[in-house]
Amino acid sequence: MEPRATVKEQFFIVIRGKSRKGFCRGCIGRVETETQHGELTGLLYCGGSNALNPKSGGTVRKEDTYSLTRHQAQLLLFVSSVSKRLELLCNPQLFSAICELSQDDLVVVKHKKGHLPGLVKNLMQIGRKEHKDDLHMLGFEVEFVDSDQNLSSKKPLPLFSAADVVQVVPSYSVPLGLHWKDGQSGGLNRKAVTRINSMPNIGSHARQTRENLAEQSTVQSQSPRASHVPLEVGSLVEVVSNSGVTVYGVIRWLGVPAGKTNEWAGIELDYDVSGCSDGKYGSQQYFTCKASRALFVPVTKCTPDSRFSCSSSGRGTSKPTDTLLVPLYEDPEEYAPPFPESEALSSLVGKMKGIQGHINSCYLDVTLFSLFSSSVTLDNIYQTPADTERPIMCTFREIVNRLRRQGFVPAQSVMNFRQQLGCDTFRTEEKDPEEFITVLFQKVLRMGPLIKLRSGQDICQGAYTFQIFLEKGQMGQMPSVQQLLDTSCLSGDLKFEEVPSCLMVQMPRFGNKYKMFSHIIPSTELDITDLLYNSPRECFLCGHLAEFECLQCLPDRKMQPGRIKPFCSTCNTQVHSHPSRQAHSPRALPAPAASDTPVPRHTMQLFAVLCIQTSHYVSFLKYGPDPHSWLFFDCMADRHGDDQHGYNIPEVRACPELGDFLSQPEEDMARSHPSQTPELVRRLLCDSYMFLYQKPATPLSRSNHEEPFN
């Protein structure tokens, strides 16, 4: 087939597909020809210092591209990060507003000092255009506005790309009476902006939209809460500042603060704002959050968050949205590592973060979030190329990559995965994490058991999780995970064949109906040295090579109750000569080869905890080595709309207070009364269901685990 010529000045960005013939995801190009097979050939603009001069690009499928105007292409070329270009396209409303910016329009931009309001003063053309095919990159000069609505006198004005603009404030929302002075700017390749071209197909529709919004704004200003939507603690709201900038957050406190006579709201904002607190107003601490995130305003200043509000269906009427509009996402197919510790909070924390829950999916959502959002223990398995040919593995990989790239996975993506698991009950019914874990590793990851256990009869058996079994009364009222694991293994005469790379320890409880202990102390480090089969161990008392262990000595209050007691021959005789221990039956240990080197300790690190309360699972996750790097995840923290027409709002919260608590010695934690601990710490102590441990710095590979089937 002969290629057919296309319209001149047609630009595009590649949004999906594998790299082929010069074009890759995020590249910007200009169409030269289009074939009847739906393929485009064109010139490639690389971005950065080479953005201006196109080079031969090759061929790309039209369905893998998104059409751009020249103006849009120039704005995106100044965005050096490919991921940020695509992220901007995922927010069409914002990108449309950025493309329509005029001189003196009010915007909010990302700055090293936080999110700052400012006025667009100039559209800057970056680089020299030497050939007709060259493109200028476009950026914005912005003049900052301080809290007193004064313009910054800093010259030259800072330059920002389209990706740096996080909010465009419509002209009708700028308070009347504010008059901004025109700015002057000079220099090479600088061009003052009077009007920036619109995106395609906006034109009069955009103007009409602004007029309609202006009318709505007038109505709302006459009655701030005209919508009669009740606001309560946990409601998502927005507040318009005196300068017209809108901030978003969640209500954490409602009441009448000291010195006031009407009801106020304490709001935890989505990002840091200069002048805000950590939940303190005046001299009183009303709630706790990250510094510079707490805003206190009269409740009449709050309106429901328009980002999750009802969709309009004609003037004056509205109906709830059936589904959430989620950002466009195309899986680039390459491996996505977890967010670095320094970026985890900004990428994962907030509303509509994590995995969105839907129809009893909490058991699955928290398991996937805990295993894959920050831990790399299983990464060597899920990225195996051969597995990507299976549809269920492709769906699973997309969930993990999306979580690690965008920090959010919509419910539909997870529902597709649930439908592929092969059992209808996974789509609708409540289940427990251990049932899903077994299916995940057997059917999706095609792995053999993670844990290899050997019983006293030398029978070796495999498992994916370790269930704690105890007799009531064997432990105290507030045991640690270490004590529970030691006691369960000794009572059942079980040993680990080898150190597992991932160990998931299930507590002695059954859903929300029964739990043996009201509180359990998390062990941040699990020492399994004394639980390994045929491995050298040291005497509990003298440190020499151990030859015996005694189950009856485990609860002995005179010798660290709850600790496994291996003894050398001498110490075993001395300890059991005591009248209270003469009836004990110590067992001989397999005799390992004698060695003068110290016995190595084998430990595992806690990286996640699954909890259940009233049939709903949540999780705590450690996202970095810092002791305070803990997150709390709830896939159904809030809901928009009713049961028939609405959707769940997941939330991820920073939980540094858990790090403070876990930094104490276990003895001090055991003496702490849960009612005196912070809310989320108390929730972990009382509701823990499964503790997840990983072997330090050892990613799990399938070569260590035989596949259960072909």
3-class secondary-structure state, position 191: strand
Residue 249 near residue 269, CB atoms below 8 Å: yes
Confirm if 25 and 10 have CB atoms less than 8 A apart. Answer: no
Tell me how far apart the alpha carbons of residues 506 and 693 are, in angstroms, rounded to a whole number.
11
Q: Among all chains, which residue has been given the structure tokens 């704005």?
A: 75
- Residue holding tokens 């075993």? 572
Q: 89, 13 in Cβ contact below 8 A?
A: yes
Identify the three-state secondary structure at position 372: helix
What count of other Cβ atoms lies within 10 Å of the Cβ of residue 30? Answer: 22
Residue 694 CA: distances (Å) to CA of 45, 327, 659: 44, 33, 18
Give Cα separations from 193 to 72, 102, 184 (angstroms): 15, 7, 11
The string of DSSP letters for 302-369 reads: -EE-GGGSPEESSTT-EE--SS--PPP-----S--PPPPHHHHHHHH-EET-EE---SS-HHHHHHHH
Structure tokens at 511: 């859903």
Cα–Cα distances (Å) from 168 to 24, 26, 99, 106, 673, in that order, read 30, 24, 10, 6, 49
Q: Which residues contact 472 (CB under 8 A, 6 or more apart)?
A: 516
Which parts of 409-563 fold into alpha helices (H)? 411-419, 425-428, 433-439, 481-491
Three-state DSSP state, 608: strand
- CA-angle at 556, arms to 497 and 576, nearest 5°: 85
Return the sign of the alpha-carbon dihedral for residues 110, 111, 114, 115.
negative
Q: Which two tokens stand for residue 237?
A: 């709201």
Q: How do 548-549 and 525-527 pair as beta strands?
A: unpaired
- Polymer length in residues for the chain: 710
Sign of the alpha-carbon dihedral angle for 300, 302, 304, 306 = positive
**In 3D, which of 371, 327, 369, 379 has the Cα closest to residue 348?**
369
d(CA 331, CA 553): 56
Instruction: With both helix axes pointing from N to C terminus, report the angle between 411-419 and 362-372 in degrees, rounded to the nearest 10.
Output: 100
For 279, the 3-state DSSP assignment is coil
Per residue in 342-380, is it b (16+ CB within 10 Å) or e — as a string? eebbebbbbbbbbbbbbebbbbbbbbbbbbbbbbebbbe
Residue type, 74: Q
- Can you tell me whether residue 403 is helix, strand or coil? helix
Catalytic residues: 362, 616
Handedness of CA 304, 308, 311, 312 (dihedral sign): positive
How far is Cα 369 from Cα 258, in angstroms, rounded to an integer? 41
Sequence-distant (≥ 6) Cβ neighbours of residue 459 within 8 angstroms: none
Q: Which amino acid is at 59?
A: T
